[in-house]
Amino acid sequence: MNQDYRRLSRRNFLSLSAVAGLGAIALNSCTNTTTTSATSAGAGSTPAANLPISLEAAGGMDALIEAARAEGELSVIALPDDWANYKEMKASFLQKYPFIKLNDLNPDASSADELEAIRANKGNKGPQNPDVIDVGFQFGEEAKQEGLLQPYKVSTWNTIPDALKDPEGFWYGDYYGVMTFEINTDIVKALPEDWADLLKPEYRGQVALAGDPRKSGQAINAVWAAALGNGGSLTNAQPGLEFFKELNAAGNFLPVIAKPATVAQGETPITLRWDYNALANRDATAGNPEIAVVVPKTGQLAGVYVQAISAYAPRPNAARLWMEHLYSDEGQLIWLKGYSRPVRFDDLRTKNAIPADMMSKLPSPELYAQAQFPNGEQIKAASDVITQGWDSVVGADVK
C-alpha cells in the first residue's frame, strides 16, 4: 500500500480487537437476558407491545418469512449505497426475499432525522414510516428511553458482545470504524498527517465534515476526535469545538456537507469521515481522482452504530427478517467487505468464517494502536457538548 495511506488498506479493523480489545468498548455494562418486557421505556402504549422478541417466539424462520411475505414491503432510512457496503446489503436481501418491496427512504438522513421520522409518522401505515433505523450509538439509547423502539433479539444474539447491545433487545451494535481524513490528492498535494496540520494556510477552504455536527453522528464524532487530538479526552469534548472555531476563523473550514461526489469533484478536498466510508469511496473512484485515507497520528476515535426496529413499524415482520439478514454470517461479511468492522467479527474469526482474501485487504492493526473507544455515558456527554455548543462556539452553519 502506498505511503499516502498511513493510512489504510483494508487490513485491520479486524485485528483491532487484538489491539484495543472489543471489550474496551464498554458502552454500558450489559448482561445478556432471556426475557424482555415490551413495556420498557414507555413502549407499552405503542403497537410494539406484546410482539415476539425472538425468532423462536415468532415461530421460526419459515413463519417469519411468510409473515414478512404477507406485509410485502420494508421501509429503511439513512442507508446510502456507499455507506458500509449497504448497496450490496440491500441487493442481497432483495435477492433472497424478492417478494419484499424495499422503500429506501432519505439515504442522506442523519441519526437525528431518523428518530424524527419515527416521531412524525406514528400511526402512519404508509411507506414513508421507517420500519428500521441505523443510528449512532447515543441515539439508540435515546430512542429506547423515548419509547420509539421495539425489542427483538436476532437468532445470533448470543454472539453479539454484551457491551454492544441493550440487554432487553431494543438496540444492538452493528459495526464500527475510526475517524480519518479522506483526501482528494488531485487537489491536495501535501497530505495532512494530524489534526494540527489542518490549520495550515495551504488548506484554506478545503476541510469539510460529512454531516451537520448538530445532528449527524459522523460529524459529532469528527469534532470529538479533533478534541482528542487537541488536548481533550473522552470526558472532555470542548477542545474539539475550540479547534473548529480556530479552523473556521482561519478560513480553512468549509461549511458544506461532504459527500463522495463533492470529494471526487474537488469541492470538499479534505473530508473527515469514518474509515470504512473513506476507503469505500477511495475504491469507487478507482484512481480518478486518487483518494488518500489518512489515520491521524493523534485523536483516533472509534465509533459504534446500532440497529433497531421502530415501535411504530407498520411492517414489523419484514423488519425482523431484515435484522436476521444483517446479523447472519452473510450479512456480517457484507459489512466487512465494505471495511466496516461488524459486531460479530470475533465470532466469525473464531469459526474461520472470514475468507482469507477479505482478511488480507483489511488495514493493519498498527494504524489503530491509539484508537479510543468511549462508553455510553461519555458518548452522551460529548454529544450534548458538541450539538449544544456548536452554534455559540463555532458559529458555522453546515449544510
Asked whether residue 20 carries a pLDDT value surpassing 80, the answer given is no
Residue 49 has what pLDDT? 67
Mark whether 202 and 120 lie in a shared domain.
Answer: no
**Same domain for 194 and 159:** no
- Which run of H or of E encompasses 307? strand 302-310
Q: What is the pLDDT, as a whole number, of residue 50?
A: 73
CATH no. for residue 197? Answer: 3.40.190.10
Q: Are residues 156 and 208 in the same domain?
A: no
User: 139 in a domain, yes or no?
Assistant: yes
CA–CA dist 90, 321 (Å, integer): 12
Same domain, residue pair 185 and 168: no
Give the model's pLDDT for residue 13. 35
Q: Are residues 167 and 182 in the same domain?
A: no
Query: For residue 158, what is its C-alpha cell?
Result: 448470543
* Predicted local distance difference test score (pLDDT) of residue 189: 95
Percent of the chain with pLDDT strictly greater than 90: 78
Host domain of residue 244: 16-22+177-301+368-387
Range of 31-35, 50-54, 81-85 with top mean pLDDT: 81-85
Q: How confident is the model at residue 221 (pLDDT cuts 50, 70, 90)?
A: very high
Average pLDDT over residues 30-40: 36
Residues 281-335 have pLDDT tens digits of: 999 999 999 999 999 999 999 988 999 999 999 999 999 999 999 999 999 999 9
Alpha carbon distance 306, 237 (integer Å)? 22
pLDDT in tens, 177-188: 899 999 999 999
Average pLDDT over residues 248-252: 98
Residues recorded for the chain? 399
Q: Is the pLDDT of residue 15 over 90?
A: no
Residues 188 and 252 in one domain: yes
Total domains, the chain: 2
* 87/167 same-domain check: yes
Distance CA 345, CA 160 (A): 9
Greater confidence, 19 or 391? 391
Residues with Cβ < 8 Å from 244, sequence gap 6 or more?
213, 223, 226, 253, 390, 393, 394, 396
Q: Specify if 52 maps to a domain.
A: yes
- When pLDDT is averaged across residues 233-245 and rounded to a whole number, the result is 98
Kindly report, residue by residue over 86-136, the tens digit of the pLDDT: 999 999 999 999 999 999 999 999 999 999 999 999 999 999 999 999 998
What is the pLDDT confidence band of residue 19, given thresholds at 50, 70 and 90?
very low
* Mean of per-residue pLDDT scores for the chain: 88
Residue 133: per-residue pLDDT: 98
Say how far apart CA 366 and CA 363 lie, in whole Å: 9
Which range among 35-39, 212-216, 236-240, 309-313 shows the weakest confidence by mean pLDDT?
35-39
Shared-domain flag, residues 241 and 373? yes
With a cut of 70, say whether residue 41 has pLDDT above it.
Answer: no
Tell me if 195 sits within 8 A of 327, measured CB to CB. Answer: no
Residue 216 within any structural domain of the chain = yes
